[in-house]
Structure 1
Amino acid sequence: MSTKILIIGACGQIGSELTMKLREIYGNDQVVASDIREGKPELMASGPFEIVNAMEFEQVAQAVEKHQIDEVYLMAAMLSATAEKNPAFAWDLNMNSLFHVLNLAKEGKIKKVFWPSSIAVFGPTTPRINTPQYTVMEPSTVYGISKQTGERWCEYYHAKFGVDVRSIRYPGLISWTTPPGGGTTDYAVDIYYKALEDKKYTCFLAENTALPMMYMDDALAATVAIMQAPAEKVKIRSSYNLGGISFTPAEIAAEIKTHIPEFTIDYAPDFRQAIADSWPASIDDTAAQTDWNWKHQYDLKSMTQVMLDNLAISLSK
């Protein structure tokens, strides 16, 4: 029997690329994209789309029933830097949308749920180097607090009600197809645009701020892998650490200079520096490697090559 998928928040930074990836795998008609507003023309043209407000239970339930959905990928969220400006709304969006989907799964209306967590669940008291799967978690941002709470609820719904919910803690994600979406790690996307367009960049983080990052193709591969893994292989039902590459603004700038020698960078840290300082510098994802054979493919060099090549083409259009 074919799998019918609903993506909530399909027009966001991850959702837009995940939609196309899942349509490639399962077939265009099997993957229903949804968001509070319409997305890019190619996403809208490639398969079914529904306007769904993730905060409205009836809208989510109607979409699930109408399309006889088996699996939901809940990608709607307000990210770190944006959430700090509107904490109450961020909390409502990030938490209520999760409850809606978990409750539909509890009622047997959905068979499987994917919900993304984040390195934002960690805080200033967390060990920063090779942050372990199980460790101190005292997040200091609204986004981090909501993701940490969400992890506990996912674990609870699995333990109490048998809900098949799966999650990974995304690091900073880097992609050339979607513009930055308001996250603290977004400098690592913006820097490529500015390198090609202006040959210079002013970074809102200090030069030696190391953060865990990942090229989007790796994040999508991990998302598909955990959802396709047999249930017994998914041993952690809060959220898995996901490691990729770790680098500083100075290191990414140096790699860009190997392609664009005239590129220059300067630094003007703002409020996002405090957020970055509260997060890990690198991640230990041994549990994901062991349980469902996770392995990232891209390093800083190969990612920079792909980013500059593809952005040069898209910016010239």
Structure 2
Amino acid sequence: MQKYILIIGACGQIGTELTLALRSKYGNDHVIASDIREGSESLMASGPFEILDATDYDALEEIVAYYEISEVYLMAAMLSATAEKFPMRAWNLNMNSLFNVLNLGKEKKIDKIFWPSSIAVFGPNTPKTDTPQNTIMEPSTVYGISKQSGERWCEYYFNKFNVDVRSIRYPGLISWKTMPGGGTTDYAVEIYHKALAKSAYTCFLKEDTALPMMFMDDAIRATLQIMESAPEAIKVRSSYNLSAMSFTPAQMAKSIQEQLPDFKMKYEPDFRQAIADSWPSSIDDTNAQQDWGWNAEFDLEKTTNEMLVNLSS
């Protein structure tokens, strides 16, 4: 029997590319995109779309029943920088949407759930280098608090109700297809657009702020890979550490200057610096490698090349 998949938050930075990847794999009509607003032309033209408020359980339940959905990817969330401005709105969206989906799983109305966590679950007391899978967390942002709470609830619903929920802690994500949505690592996408348009960029983080990052193709591949793995392979039911590369804004600027020698970078740190300072500079993802065969393909040089080539054209 062919499965039907629902993506909630399909118009966001990850959701857009994930929708298209799933449609190319399972067929356009078998992947239902949904969001609170319409998305890009390519997304809207590629298959079924529903306007959906992720915090509305009845509306969600109706779509699940109508399309006979078996898998849900919950990508709707308010990200780190935006969540600091609207704490209660962020908490309500990030937590209520998760409970809605977990409860559908508990009631056996869906079979499998993907929910993304983030490096934001870590805090100032977390070991900064090669942050292990299990460690001190103590997040200091609204987004991080909601993600850490979400991890605990995912594990709880798996242990108590056998809900097949799977999760990875995304690092900062870099894509040429979609613009970022209010996160602390957004500079790593904006920089390429400004490098090509103006040969200059003013970064909102200090030049030596190392953060874990990942090219979007790797993130999508990891998401599909964990969801396609046998249930017994998924030994972590909170969320898996995931790693690809770590670099500073200065290192990123240098990688751009190798192709665009006239590119200039300035630094004017803002409130996002404090958020970045509370996060790890690199991640140990041994568990993901061992349990379901994860391995990143993109480093900084390959990412820069891919971004500049695609954005230029």
Task: For 2:59 and 2:82, locate their aligned partners in 1 and report how far apart those are by CA, in whole Å.
Answer: 25
2:20 maps to amino acid: M
Aligned counterpart, 1:270: 270
Q: Deviations over 1:28-58 (max 9, x none)?
A: 0100000011111111111011111001101
Any idea what SS the aligned residue of 2:186 has? Answer: helix
State the secondary structure of the residue aligned to 1:156. Answer: helix
Write the letter of the residue equivalent to 2:151.
Answer: E
SS of equivalent residue, structure 1 residue 169: strand
User: How far, CA to CA, are the matches of 1:44 and 1:197 in structure 2?
Assistant: 28
Aligned residue for 2:42? 42
Deviation beyond 2 Å, 4+ runs, structure 1: none
Q: Residues of 2 paired with 1:148 and 1:182: CA distance? A: 19
Cα distance in 2 between the residues matched to 1:174 and 1:127: 24
Q: Distance in 1 between matches of 2:142 and 2:62?
A: 30
Identity %: 67
| 2:79 counterpart of 1:76 | no
Structure-1 separation of matches of 2:63 and 2:234: 27
Report matched runs for 1:244-263 at 5 Å.
Answer: 244-263=244-263
One-letter amino acid of the counterpart of residue 135, structure 2 = T
User: Gaps spanning 5+ residues in structure 2: where?
Assistant: none
Q: Distance in 2 between matches of 1:264 and 1:246?
A: 21
Equivalent residue number for residue 287 of structure 1: 287
* Partner Cα distance (2:49, 2:62) in 1: 13
Could you tell me which residue of structure 2 aligns to residue 210 of structure 1?
210
Report the equivalent of 2:29: 29
Mapping for residues 175-190 of structure 1, pairs under 5 Å: 175-190=175-190
Residue by residue over 1:271-312, the C-alpha shift from the partner in whole angstroms, topping out at 9 and shown as x without a partner, is 000000000000000000000000000000001000000011
Give the residue type in structure 2 aligned to 1:191.
I
Q: 2: CA distance between counterparts of 1:113 and 1:224?
A: 12
Deviation string 1:55-86 (CA, Å, 9 cap, x unpaired) is 11011111100100000000000000000000
What does the per-residue CA deviation read over 1:158-201, in whole Å, with 9 as the maximum and x for residues that have no partner?
00000000000000000001112100000000000000000000
Which secondary structure state, in structure 1, belongs to the residue aligned with residue 53 of structure 2? Answer: coil
| Equivalent residues, number | 313
Aligned to 2:130: 130
Q: CA RMSD in A?
A: 0.4
TM-score by length of 1: 0.98
Looking at structure 1, the residues matched to 3 and 241 of structure 2 have their Cα atoms a distance apart, in angstroms, of 27
Q: CA shift at 1:115, angstroms?
A: 0.1
Cα drift, residue 91 of structure 1? 0.1
Q: Secondary structure at the match of 1:207?
A: coil
**Alpha-carbon distance between aligned partners in 2 of 1:215 and 1:22, rounded to the nearest angstrom:** 18
Q: Which amino acid aligns with 2:112?
A: K
Residues 80-91 of structure 1 mapped to structure 2, 5 A cutoff: 80-91=80-91
Equivalent residue, structure 1, for 2:223: 223
Please report how far the alpha carbon of residue 3 of structure 1 lies from its aligned counterpart in structure 2 after TM superposition.
1.5
Q: Which residue of 1 aligns with 2:60?
A: 60
Cα distance in 2 for partners of 1:41, 1:179 equals 14
